Structure 1
Amino acid sequence: MKTVVVIGGGPAGMMAASTAADNGANVILLEKQHRLGRKLLITGKGRCNITNDCDVEELIENVPTNGKFLYSAFYTFTNYDAITMFNSLGLATKTERGKRVFPESDKALDVVKALEKQVKNKKVKIILSAKVNKIIAKDNKIEKVIYNNNEVIKCDSVILATGGMSYPLTGSTGDGYKFAQSLGHTIINPKPSLIGIEVQEGFVKDLEKLALRNVAITVINSKNKKIYDDFGELEFTKYGLDGPIIKSASCRMKDTSKENYRIILDLKPALDDEKLDKRIIKDFAKYTNKNFENSLDDLLPKKLIPIIIELSEIPRHLKVNQISKKQRLNLVYLLKNLTFTVKRYRPIEEAIVTSGGIKVSEINASTMESKIINNLFFAGEIIDVDAYTGGFNLQIAYSTAYLAGTNS
């Protein structure tokens, strides 16, 4: 019986281990943390968006970095296979807005328990607090793994599922990159993806924790070209912008030290300029004898009003019936085009996923095996693929792990 060592006990590692065991291998799962699935526990704000209920082509479209590399993986183990698998493990699921699939319980812990159950059912040997030091290959073939300084496991295959560099306290510290590099692989420089963004505008600190629903953003590059737009939820932080649509936008933005980006926020996307102007005229008629600062309560969240007043350059104590048409139209423009100048990404430690990793041209897309070292396989975030928010990154983990486990 062949022995397969899986390094990393996240969703990709657990999936790869159970699949390899299902295919008759003696599987040993090494996890350096004291428990499996630690990072999974914090995904989706503790709810865990396990996949997305869209068709496979749409899955690929939602992977801006090397999406085509995943054709074979996504078609071999689909999102519907993932839902069926979780249901068979006793985890009931539900589908929400944006086709996002969650556990019915809204508890990420239940997702971890389901994957753990599957690993244990397949008789995988789990070794926790196991820090891998080195992977040894001889004649371009995997030979053994050394962990905890001097423990040695002779094996036929290794599956690297160590994740990226985001949330290092959960164990994602980039170890897998070092192992792969030592075996001759190229690492595409890791950078944060699905991350909050710092902006130059100082007023954001006054909006901290303000969450907006049903707003739209457009991301513009230094050539004034639109590179991304989105609609949904946004949250202000003391350093800038965050929330689902900002995290997805971060996937489309490149090096912020070399490119100047602007994010244009439309606070009222359901209304075009003309309809918004009519809405404001209606509100102004209602508050005609009041000061401008007291006329926006029906239109905007309280926290946002002082900022909009300041940016509009309309005197706050000006009576509403004295506001000129030009001032009013400028207000309309501001509400549709609240502009932020991107400074940088937040630190990679805060990123949901890491962009970058093992160069995909060095991996067989049909098996997830290294083209450089025989019987070395990769699964999940360690590969240079990353997707938008919405369950797509976890689906990458399952699908690549299934291929790796099947072929190891």
Structure 2
Amino acid sequence: MDYDVIVIGGGPSGLMASASAGLQGAKVLLLDKGEKLGKKLAISGGGRCNVTNNKEIDELIQNIPGNGRFLYSVFATFNNRDIIHFFEGLGVQLKEEDHGRMFPVTNKAKTVVQALIQKVKEVGVEIRVNTPVKEVLYQNGAVRGVQTKTGKIYHAPTVILATGGKAASHTGSQGDGYIWAEAARHTITELFPTEVPLTSSETLITSKALQGLSLRDVAISVLNPKGKKIITHRGDMLFTHFGLSGPIALRCSQFVIKTLKKLSLTEVPVVIDLFPDEPFHLLHLRIDQLLKEQERKLLKNVIKAILPDRLITAMFQQLHLNQETTCLQLNQEQIQEISTWCKNFTLQINGTLPLEKAFVTGGGVHVKEIQPKTMESKIMNGLFFCGEILDIHGYTGGYNITAAMCTGFVAGMNAAKNKKKTF
């Protein structure tokens, strides 16, 4: 059977590519190996689907540290504001929450998934689920179609690989597309987990003393062996039985991985500033005054005014303080150490959870081999890419879905322009 465009993968980028190509009047076939389309989209944003982020383009790019600059051309054609208009045009009302994150008013991801699938159907896309692809067919430097694992061949002058990465593999993202990209002589940069919890073998973590403790509005910095800050992120975090999680820990994960690998380290220090708004000298002054006002009381009881109980236990362990110490018994050097600890609570991090547990895949098809304005391969005529298969990755907060949907829309639109090509 002949089609104008074949899209492999029914995630956010593949669905958007299918809709976009269909809107151009192309005869489109969407193939997905799973039973349901949009599985990863349905669990995104904690099941509420963080559709996009409402920040300005330059700020969007800053929040996509993995080759975000490549997206300038894509965003010139279709960007985050266009995503908002697109879904509102489908009857999905969106609302803005903290840090520019956009969610459906229903607070249900299925609202977004169903609307997108309905649009794909409306523009005449033929959908085939439970249809795993065996290979993409190439001949004389151009795409010819695909062959499924049952042996069925579908012809088309353009194929869009929207197969995702290897993160959240339970949704079907198992790296199939990398094989077909390599068969077209594309380079796959090294894959690694991003937006993933950090792990530590420190006693404070393995003892589960801090498990479940969440901290709001703190700052985390990843340091190199010389003590220089590589990256700092501010926001909320969570202690787990294996390490650190929560938004800012996830954001630091790619920098932990890269530092460990680049410098051949087994651990990297991560510093938590519990009072990022307060300069050290002012915090020290406040703590000094607090202790002097209640000098006859136990330190562990007085310090509760500024620290949660379980962090006090951590501080006592790391600073080797006696549980029965009164404020009066502290010398100035010890008070200085307490103030310093509050600004530099340090844990040794030995890695992250594996790629399968990550929200996002780092690495993928090398972006230098892709036309940034069209998403077409520079190597194989008629081969297009979109979404997480590309070496593009952002922080959580709607940035990865934005990159997926925008590259999908641009890939679909330009793939449709190939429909007049003949074999």
Shorter-normalised TM-score: what interval?
over 0.9
Number of residue pairs matched? 408
For the residues of structure 1 that align with 2:292 and 2:109, how far apart are their CA atoms? 50
Look up the match of 2:46. 45
The question of 1:331 aligning with 2:338 is answered yes
Equivalent residue for 2:273, pick from 266, 269, 273: 266
For the residues of structure 2 that align with 1:273 and 1:302, how far apart are their CA atoms? 22
For the residues of structure 2 that align with 1:319 and 1:342, how far apart are their CA atoms? 33
Letter in structure 1 aligned against 2:252: A
Look up the match of 1:218. 221
Higher mean displacement: 199-208 or 355-364: 199-208
CA displacement at 1:282 relative to structure 2: 4.5
Unaligned runs of 5+ in 2: 416-423
Look up the match of 1:244. 247
The question of 1:299 aligning with 2:306 is answered yes
For the residues of structure 2 that align with 1:11 and 1:303, how far apart are their CA atoms? 41
Secondary structure at 2:196 match in 1: coil
For the residues of structure 2 that align with 1:96 and 1:329, how far apart are their CA atoms? 39
For the residues of structure 2 that align with 1:257 and 1:2, how far apart are their CA atoms? 45
The question of 1:256 aligning with 2:263 is answered no
The percent identity for this pair of structures is: 40
Equivalent residue for 1:309, pick from 305, 316, 324: 316
The question of 1:228 aligning with 2:231 is answered yes
Q: 1:338-377 maps to which residues of 2 (within 5 A)?
A: 338-377=345-384
Look up the match of 1:14. 15
CA displacement at 1:304 relative to structure 2: 1.9
- Give deviations 1:3-27, integer Å, cap 9, x for gaps: 2110000000000000001111111
Look up the match of 1:102. 103
Contact 1:195 1:250 in 2 (8 A): yes
Contact 1:256 1:345 in 2 (8 A): no
For the residues of structure 2 that align with 1:54 and 1:404, how far apart are their CA atoms? 23
The answer to which structure has the higher strand fraction is 1
CA displacement at 1:403 relative to structure 2: 1.2
Secondary structure at 1:36 match in 2: coil
For the residues of structure 2 that align with 1:47 and 1:312, how far apart are their CA atoms? 42
For the residues of structure 2 that align with 1:121 and 1:301, how far apart are their CA atoms? 55
Letter in structure 1 aligned against 2:339: V
Contact 1:2 1:26 in 2 (8 A): yes
- Give deviations 1:144-187, integer Å, cap 9, x for gaps: 21113212211121100000000111001000001111221111
For the residues of structure 2 that align with 1:106 and 1:282, how far apart are their CA atoms? 46
Contact 1:198 1:344 in 2 (8 A): yes
Contact 1:33 1:128 in 2 (8 A): yes
For the residues of structure 2 that align with 1:8 and 1:252, how far apart are their CA atoms? 29
Aligned CA-pair RMSD: 1.6
Higher mean displacement: 294-303 or 177-186: 294-303
Higher mean displacement: 68-77 or 219-228: 219-228
- Give deviations 1:231-277, integer Å, cap 9, x for gaps: 10111111111111121122334152443432110011122223222
Look up the match of 2:418. none
Look up the match of 1:134. 135
The question of 1:208 aligning with 2:208 is answered no
CA displacement at 1:228 relative to structure 2: 0.8
- Give deviations 1:63-113, integer Å, cap 9, x for gaps: 222222111111110110001111111211111221111222222222212
For the residues of structure 1 that align with 2:262 and 2:241, how far apart are their CA atoms? 24
Contact 1:232 1:244 in 2 (8 A): yes
TM-score normalized by the length of structure 2: 0.92
- Give deviations 1:306-325, integer Å, cap 9, x for gaps: 11121122211112222222
For the residues of structure 2 that align with 1:375 and 1:61, how far apart are their CA atoms? 31
For the residues of structure 1 that align with 2:20 and 2:226, how far apart are their CA atoms? 48
Letter in structure 2 aligned against 1:214: D
Distance 1:150 1:64, change over 3 A: same
For the residues of structure 1 that align with 2:318 and 2:225, how far apart are their CA atoms? 23
Equivalent residue for 2:390, pick from 364, 383, 389: 383
CA displacement at 1:2 relative to structure 2: 4.8
Secondary structure at 2:25 match in 1: coil
Contact 1:64 1:252 in 2 (8 A): no
- Give deviations 1:194-222, integer Å, cap 9, x for gaps: 11111242202321121111101222112
CA displacement at 1:285 relative to structure 2: 4.8
- Give deviations 1:92-151, integer Å, cap 9, x for gaps: 111122111122222222221221121122121111111111111111111121113212
Secondary structure at 1:206 match in 2: coil
Secondary structure at 2:83 match in 1: helix
For the residues of structure 2 that align with 1:196 and 1:126, how far apart are their CA atoms? 36
Q: 1:20-169 maps to which residues of 2 (within 5 A)?
A: 20-169=21-170
For the residues of structure 2 that align with 1:256 and 1:149, how far apart are their CA atoms? 43
Letter in structure 2 aligned against 1:371: K
Look up the match of 1:193. 194
Letter in structure 2 aligned against 1:276: L
Contact 2:8 2:162 in 1 (8 A): yes
For the residues of structure 2 that align with 1:104 and 1:187, how far apart are their CA atoms? 38
Look up the match of 1:170. 171
Secondary structure at 1:303 match in 2: helix
Secondary structure at 1:358 match in 2: coil
